Amino acid sequence: MKRVSIEVDKDKCIGCKLCSLACPTDCLDFDEEQNNPVILSTRHCLVCHNCEDQCARSALKVSLV
């Protein structure tokens, strides 16, 4: 059984929050202090790539491992 991996490149992230808003299952949240997305859980990830698609800086990568 494959599992989902969500990687965030915090150096590329500009803090727009679009990734966390685009997630239909709330796998992502946003840390206001760090100004970066936070992976809450990959358990319910649909691998829809909405978070990747919304990121203008390509700071997120969703994959099956």
Beta strands in the chain (DSSP E): 4-8, 28-31, 36-39, 60-64
Q: Which residues pair with 4 in a beta bridge?
A: 64
Q: Are 52 and 20 in contact (CB under 8 A)?
A: no
> Where residue 1 falls among pLDDT bands split at 50, 70, 90?
confident
pLDDT at 18: 96
| DSSP class of 42 | S
Higher confidence at residue 30 or residue 1?
30
pLDDT in tens, 5-64: 999 999 999 999 999 999 999 899 999 999 999 999 999 999 999 999 999 999 999 999
Calculate the dihedral angle through the C-alpha atoms of 40, 46, 49, 52, rounding to the nearest 10 degrees. 0
Give domain limits for the chain: 4-64
pLDDT given for residue 44 in this prediction: 92
CATH numeric code, 4-64: 3.30.70.20
